[in-house]
Copies of this chain bind each other. A is one copy, B any other.
Amino acid sequence: MLTFEGDKYMGAAAITQKLTSLPFAACKHQVTTVDCQPSGPAGGMLVFVSGALQVGEVEHPLKFSQMFHLMPVGPGNFYVQNDMFRLNYG
């Protein structure tokens, strides 16, 4: 599931539709920090990222923070079970 700026999307179809309908063609990510912790005995991994992103031709980057919860499916494979994204307005 995805929480994007407070809006909630459940399931691959809804999430894909949201992410592909964002109103810009290009977005550069600059990651500043990445922190990880195991989420529990099921083998999941919590990833916490902060950084800046530059959208299209806009000059000033926007700060963001985001967390993912990766769960294992088979050896060496993970899927994104949880995803929460926020812009950090200045």
Contacts and interface: CB of A to CB of B under 8 A. Distances in A.
Range of interface residues on chain A? 20 to 34
Can you tell how many copies of this chain the complex includes? Answer: 2
Interface in A7-39: 33, 35, 37, 39
Contacts of A46: 46, 67, 69, 82, 84
Interface residue SS majority, chain A:
strand
Nearest to A37: B82
A75 interface: no
B35 A69 contact: no
Interface in A32-82: 33, 35, 37, 39-40, 42, 44, 46, 48, 50, 63, 65, 67, 69, 71, 81-82
5 contacts: A37-B82, A39-B69, A39-B82, A48-B67, A50-B65
